[in-house]
Amino acid sequence: MSKINKVVILGAGNLATQLAIALNDAGVNILQVYSRTIQSASALADKVNSIAITEISNLAKNADLYICAISDNALESVLDQMPIPIGDVVHTAGSIPMDVFDDYTECYGVFYPLQTFSKNRKVDFSNIPICIESNNLGLQADLMELAGRISNNIHIIDSEQRKQLHLSAVFTCNFANHMYSIGQKLLAEKDVDFDLLKPLIKETAEKVQELDPISAQTGPAIRFDKEIMAKHENELKNLPDFQILYRFVSESIFKMHSEKK
Amino acid sequence: MSKINKVVILGAGNLATQLAIALNDAGVNILQVYSRTIQSASALADKVNSIAITEISNLAKNADLYICAISDNALESVLDQMPIPIGDVVHTAGSIPMDVFDDYTECYGVFYPLQTFSKNRKVDFSNIPICIESNNLGLQADLMELAGRISNNIHIIDSEQRKQLHLSAVFTCNFANHMYSIGQKLLAEKDVDFDLLKPLIKETAEKVQELDPISAQTGPAIRFDKEIMAKHENELKNLPDFQILYRFVSESIFKMHSEKK
């Protein structure tokens, strides 16, 4: 029988929602879902056969694990309201060091699923990297076992590496997605459907599953094709932010390719 | 029997290679492959049962279509060497207007497959958008029929729209890919394997196949989370280019989200 069977989820945002659903699907008992508003706590609790609470003072005492999946800013104020010692606790954040829990309990850790989560898009957890860290080898083993019930892609990652993973994820996910948004905005100006870009977006992401992204690169910037770049910058003359970005990223691409040679 | 059965491919780069392979697989006869060097002309010609040539003067006269899949800079000098009238001719470029052919022949057009091509990565053409334009309705119909033999995703797109598609493709493909390169570089500094980012990259691209990219956005920039952003910028202090980029793109994301509200 596995150690962690009863968990409390603190938070009801995108990550909390998808993680709670995945754990519940894997047979983990979600004792409670805490959120500041009853609407959001209930919305998630209903999905995972759980009880919604909005007061930390109503926290169940008998959970095997408290999972704080709340915003970085809210974490410390929630911890301050919890009874000390809290019990075994983890957070799910990329950029918060594990020792944030040091004053609150004995055994703690991090359970960081590296993925982009939206509330209404169910994700397949099975290949999502889950980055585990703990100050206690017993808890670390239990966290890995728990993670193993929802994913095949478990890693022990320290706080320093996790911070860098989070930063890299901002570039590869949030910033890449912003490039999609810009593409969509540009097409809308000429009444062209964003659908035309979708196979390209998909292939760009597929390519780097196999090739190194530097080797996978194509387009005018790697050959610093001044003629096309000047045309493009001219087309962006009424969108000065995108024009600056175009020039800056093109130069960055060219620089990275020159360094590689 | 379809009209276009014998084609000459001018060019042997990434796009020329993948397009010639797809056409050959579809039963189109690739009469010749022209390239400036015999090495590159032969490398492609051998793949598609064709004849390599390095002199425009050796061009076959009996092709149904001449496909110029050469760099934008080289196009006009190649055209200048071709016998006038050239015959039916298209180029495959995003940013060159169709009327570049105006002085050279009567019927011409554009056959622009919107995808990122690498020489050694075979792509499935079947869902690649092929953007067709022609100054002649008969040729336009023939080009659509030809495109339909390799793809199910055919569009009539004028030069102005195609230019904008190309610009949007630079953002959504080349620039997104550069964000992957930056992620890889950052991870390498802390000895973390780029593989950890791959499911995230894939899901980010999958998400926008269904969701609007603005709705799909996650991460610190949409909520302008100053604390995380300051941490990230600090982590980038030894990589000033990436630090500037981080700030600039974060502000651009926040601005786009604020405008949407």
Does residue B84 or residue B54 have the better pLDDT? B54
Q: Is the distance from CB of A147 to CB of A139 less than 8 angstroms? A: no
In angstroms, what separates the C-alpha of B74 from chain A's closest C-alpha?
12
Distance of alpha carbon A29 from alpha carbon A23, whole angstroms: 8
Mean pLDDT, range A239-246, rounded to an integer: 97
Q: Which long-range contacts (CB under 8 A, 24 or more apart) does B237-245 make?
A: B239/B186, B241/A252, B241/A255, B242/A171, B242/A252, B242/B182, B242/B186, B244/A248, B245/A175, B245/A248, B245/A249, B245/A252, B245/B182
- On the question of pLDDT at B84 being above 90, the answer is no
Mean pLDDT, range A234-254, rounded to an integer: 97
The alpha carbon of B146 is separated from its chain's Cα centroid by a whole number of angstroms, namely 18
Note the pLDDT of residue A48. Answer: 97
Domain contains A142: yes
- On the question of pLDDT at B175 being above 60, the answer is yes
DSSP per position, A117-167: --TTS---GGG--EEEEESSHHHHHHHHHHHHTT-S-EEE--HHHHHHHHH
One domain for residues B137 and B167: no
Interface probe for A, chosen from B127, B131, B163, B168 (most Cβ of A below 10 Å), is B168
Domain contains B33: yes
What is the ipTM for the molecules in this complex?
0.93
Say whether B240 sits in a helix, a strand or coil. helix
Mean pLDDT, range B48-64, rounded to an integer: 96
Contacts of A121 in chain B (CB under 8 A): 207, 210-211
Percent of chain B with pLDDT strictly greater than 70: 99
Give me the total of CB pairs closer than 8 Å, taking one residue from chain A and one from chain B: 326
One domain for residues A153 and A36: yes
- On the question of pLDDT at A151 being above 80, the answer is yes
Strand partners, B6: B29
For chain B, give the number of residues. Answer: 261
- On the question of pLDDT at B1 being above 60, the answer is no
One domain for residues A14 and A123: yes
Distance of alpha carbon B165 from alpha carbon B184, whole angstroms: 28
Note the pLDDT of residue B261. Answer: 66
Contacts of A18 in chain B (CB under 8 A): none
Mean pLDDT, range B18-23, rounded to an integer: 96
Interface probe for B, chosen from A17, A242, A249, A250 (most Cβ of B below 10 Å), is A249
Q: Do A245 and B249 touch (CB under 8 A)?
A: yes
In angstroms, what separates the C-alpha of A56 from chain B's closest C-alpha?
24
In angstroms, what separates the C-alpha of B37 from chain A's closest C-alpha?
19
Give me the residue from B127, B198, B232 closest to A167, CB to CB. Answer: B232
One domain for residues B47 and B69: yes
pLDDT tier, A98 (very low <50, low <70, confident <90, very high otherwise): very high
Distance of alpha carbon A8 from alpha carbon B108, whole angstroms: 67
Half-sphere exposure of B114 (CA within 13 A, CB side): 33
pLDDT tier, A261 (very low <50, low <70, confident <90, very high otherwise): low
Q: Do B219 and A170 touch (CB under 8 A)?
A: yes
- On the question of pLDDT at B58 being above 60, the answer is yes
- On the question of pLDDT at A208 being above 90, the answer is yes
pLDDT tier, B2 (very low <50, low <70, confident <90, very high otherwise): low
Q: Do B182 and A168 touch (CB under 8 A)?
A: yes
Contacts of A198 in chain B (CB under 8 A): 208-209
Distance of alpha carbon B159 from alpha carbon A231, whole angstroms: 13
Mean pLDDT, range A176-194, rounded to an integer: 97
> β-pairing, B6-10 with B29-34?
parallel
Distance of alpha carbon B10 from alpha carbon B222, whole angstroms: 46
Where among B90, B125, B157 does a domain terminate?
B157
The alpha carbon of A7 is separated from its chain's Cα centroid by a whole number of angstroms, namely 20
pLDDT tier, B31 (very low <50, low <70, confident <90, very high otherwise): very high
One domain for residues B145 and B72: yes
Contacts of A199 in chain B (CB under 8 A): 114-115, 127-129, 153
The pLDDT tens digits for B214-247 are 999 999 999 899 999 999 999 999 999 999 999 9
Strand partners, B130: B113, B154
Q: Do A255 and B245 touch (CB under 8 A)?
A: no
Where among A157, A189, A214 does a domain terminate?
A157
Give me the residue from A170, A186, A221 closest to B232, CB to CB. Answer: A170
Please state, rounded to an integer, the average pLDDT across all residues of chain B.
Answer: 95
Exposure string for A42-80, b = 16+ CB within 10 A, e = fewer: bbbbeebebebbeebeebeeebbbbbbbbbbeebeebbe
One domain for residues A44 and A143: yes
Interface probe for B, chosen from A131, A178, A190, A194 (most Cβ of B below 10 Å), is A178
- On the question of pLDDT at A120 being above 80, the answer is no
Distance of alpha carbon B46 from alpha carbon B51, whole angstroms: 8
Place of tokens 């509330």: A119
Percent of chain A with pLDDT strictly greater than 90: 89
One domain for residues A186 and A203: yes
Cα–Cα–Cα angle for A100, A105, A106, rounded to 5 degrees:
105
Cis before residue A85, ω within 30 degrees of 0? Answer: yes
The pLDDT tens digits for A211-240 are 999 999 999 999 899 999 999 999 999 999
- On the question of pLDDT at A73 being above 90, the answer is no
- On the question of pLDDT at A1 being above 60, the answer is no
One domain for residues A141 and A168: no
Where among A106, A132, A157 does a domain terminate?
A157
Q: Where are the beta strands (DSSP E) in B70-199?
A: 89-91, 108-113, 130-134, 154-156
**Closest chain B residue to A94 measured between Cα atoms?**
B228
Cα separation values, A233 from A69, A184, A248, B98, Å: 42, 17, 11, 20
Q: List the one residue out of A125, A179, A22 whose CA is nearest residue B216.
A: A179
One domain for residues A166 and A152: no
Number of domains in chain A: 2
Q: Do B207 and A127 touch (CB under 8 A)?
A: no
The pLDDT tens digits for B87-135 are 899 999 998 999 999 999 999 999 999 999 887 788 889 999 999 999 9
Note the pLDDT of residue A123. Answer: 87
Note the pLDDT of residue A63. Answer: 96
One domain for residues A141 and A237: no
Domain contains A1: no
Contacts of A197 in chain B (CB under 8 A): 114, 165, 168-169, 172
One domain for residues A122 and A191: no
Distance of alpha carbon B177 from alpha carbon B117, whole angstroms: 13
- On the question of pLDDT at B55 being above 60, the answer is yes
Give me the residue from B121, B200, B222 closest to A172, CB to CB. Answer: B200
**Closest chain A residue to B15 measured between Cα atoms?**
A218
**Closest chain B residue to A223 measured between Cα atoms?**
B71
Q: List the one residue out of B203, B246, B6 whose CA is nearest residue A209.
A: B203
Mean pLDDT, range A103-117, rounded to an integer: 95
Note the pLDDT of residue B119. Answer: 76
Domain contains B1: no
One domain for residues A80 and A20: yes
Interface probe for A, chosen from B123, B204, B236 (most Cβ of A below 10 Å), is B204
- On the question of pLDDT at B163 being above 90, the answer is yes
Q: Is the distance from CB of B109 to CB of B133 less than 8 angstroms? A: yes
Q: What CATH code is carried by the domain that includes residue B76? A: 3.40.50.720
Domain contains A233: yes
Domain that holds residue B106: 6-157
In angstroms, what separates the C-alpha of B137 from chain A's closest C-alpha?
22
Distance of alpha carbon A201 from alpha carbon B180, whole angstroms: 13
Q: What CATH code is carried by the domain that includes residue B179? A: 1.10.1040.20
